[in-house]
């Protein structure tokens, strides 16, 4: 019997998940179907109840339902609990187990696909929203020499720093103060929503200079203002979030099916040139 999986979001027409998981299933010989569900706002629980009643095995979650999934689950992984949100669930009888693979997918893309090591390096994260929150623990587990979290609203960054106190060398900063801390960052990650609006985060001009990697979490947008600035400053490697998208999907697939698919060709097929 074919096992059913899906991704739920609203809107959902943009999603690449059915293509990604369909490709994974074909490559690994897994008998599964994977669909996209546009869940009604305010109707997440009822929609997932029906999906489970129909015999589904698992679900990916995208905006705006990651907090709903967190609340819906009966069991939370440490990653989901720390992130305060879930992007993946597995159904085992009455058990609804929630995970968050966004951060580990991002780390895998940076350290494996892009071959940029984070251990002992200075890392700068722009933004303190959900994307940054999900990445903090996986980043700190890489043992950077320093992870600086910068945000327009400093109180949000302060709250995250307090929550993750003791997990690693996490510092906070406002954008205005960032220039004083800029002694050369190795990895700079844009986890703000600025690029979705075609805007540039208010970075001091010297912050990107000398970095090995500038990583844009938004994907499929080409050369965003952040990546344009990084190129102008001579950053060695530029990347957007397509690799993170595929790697977090591979983590979910492996969790569900017990076999890890290769990601390289899928990343190539989904990559939009940075030009």
Amino acid 94: pLDDT: 96
Amino acid 139: pLDDT: 97
Q: How many domains is the chain partitioned into structurally?
A: 2
Indicate if 164 and 72 belong to the same structural domain.
Answer: no
Residue 261 lies inside a defined structural domain of this protein: no
State the Cα–Cα distance between residues 185 and 212, nearest whole angstrom. Answer: 8
State the Cα–Cα distance between residues 62 and 43, nearest whole angstrom. Answer: 14
Q: Which residues are part of the catalytic machinery?
A: 66
Residue 120 lies inside a defined structural domain of this protein: yes
CA 273, distance to chain mean position in Å, is 20
Indicate if 110 and 237 belong to the same structural domain.
Answer: yes
State the Cα–Cα distance between residues 175 and 186, nearest whole angstrom. Answer: 18
Distance (Å) of CA 43 to CA 37, 56, 212: 12, 18, 44
Indicate if 119 and 56 belong to the same structural domain.
Answer: no
State the Cα–Cα distance between residues 10 and 210, nearest whole angstrom. Answer: 39
From 137, 61, 131, select the one nearest 99 (Cα to Cα): 61
State the Cα–Cα distance between residues 31 and 76, nearest whole angstrom. Answer: 27
Indicate if 187 and 93 belong to the same structural domain.
Answer: no
State the Cα–Cα distance between residues 101 and 148, nearest whole angstrom. Answer: 22
State the Cα–Cα distance between residues 88 and 99, nearest whole angstrom. Answer: 5
State the Cα–Cα distance between residues 231 and 252, nearest whole angstrom. Answer: 33
- Phi, psi (degrees; rounded to nearest 5) at 19: -65, -45
pLDDT 10s digit of each residue in the chain, 275 long? 899 999 999 999 999 999 999 999 999 999 999 999 999 999 999 999 999 999 999 999 999 999 999 999 999 999 999 999 999 999 999 999 999 999 999 999 999 999 999 999 999 999 998 889 999 999 999 999 999 999 999 999 999 999 999 999 999 999 988 877 667 899 999 999 888 888 999 998 789 999 999 999 999 889 999 999 999 999 999 999 999 999 999 999 999 999 999 999 999 999 999 87
From 164, 119, 122, 121, select the one nearest 142 (Cα to Cα): 119
State the Cα–Cα distance between residues 206 and 161, nearest whole angstrom. Answer: 25
Residue 238 lies inside a defined structural domain of this protein: yes
- Radius of gyration (C-alpha) of the chain in whole angstroms: 19
Q: Which CATH number belongs to the domain containing residue 112 in this structure?
A: 3.40.50.720
Domain that holds residue 31: 3-100
Model pTM score: 0.94
Residue 117 lies inside a defined structural domain of this protein: yes
Residue-wise pLDDT tens digits, 159-193: 999 999 999 999 999 998 887 766 789 999 999 98
Amino acid 130: pLDDT: 85
Burial (CB count within 10 angstroms: exposed 0-12, middle 13-18, buried 19+), residue 99:
buried
Tell me the CA end-to-end span of the chain in Å, nearest whole number: 45
Residue-wise pLDDT tens digits, 137-148: 999 999 999 999
Q: Are 67 and 100 in contact (CB under 8 A)?
A: no
Q: Are 264 and 109 in contact (CB under 8 A)?
A: no
């Amino acid at each position: 019997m074919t096992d059913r999986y899906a991704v739920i979001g609203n809107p959902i027409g943009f999603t690449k998940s059915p293509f990604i998981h369909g490709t994974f299933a074909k490559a690994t010989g897994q008998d599964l179907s994977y669909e996209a569900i546009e869940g009604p706002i305010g109707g997440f629980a009822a929609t997932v109840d029906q999906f489970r009643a129909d015999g589904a095995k698992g679900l990916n979650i995208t905006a705006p339902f990651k907090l709903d999934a967190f609340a819906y689950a009966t069991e939370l992984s440490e990653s989901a609990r720390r992130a305060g949100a879930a992007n993946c669930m597995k159904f085992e009888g009455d058990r609804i187990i929630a995970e968050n693979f966004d951060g580990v997918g991002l780390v895998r893309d940076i350290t494996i696909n892009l071959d940029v090591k984070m251990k002992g390096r200075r890392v700068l994260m722009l933004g303190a929203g959900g994307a940054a929150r999900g990445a903090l623990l996986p980043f700190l587990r890489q043992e950077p020499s320093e992870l600086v979290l910068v945000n327009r609203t400093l109180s949000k960054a302060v709250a995250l720093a307090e929550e993750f106190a003791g997990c690693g060398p996490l510092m906070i900063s406002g954008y205005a103060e960032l220039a004083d801390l800029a002694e050369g960052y190795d990895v700079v990650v844009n986890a703000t929503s600025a690029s979705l609006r075609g805007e540039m985060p208010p970075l001091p001009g010297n912050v990107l200079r000398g970095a090995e990697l500038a990583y844009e979490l938004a994907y499929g947008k080409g050369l965003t203002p952040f990546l344009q600035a990084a190129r102008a400053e001579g950053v060695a490697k530029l990347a957007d979030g397509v690799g993170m998208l595929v790697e977090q999907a591979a983590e979910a697939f492996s969790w569900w099916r017990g076999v890890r698919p290769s990601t390289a060709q899928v990343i190539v097929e989904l990559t939009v040139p940075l030009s």
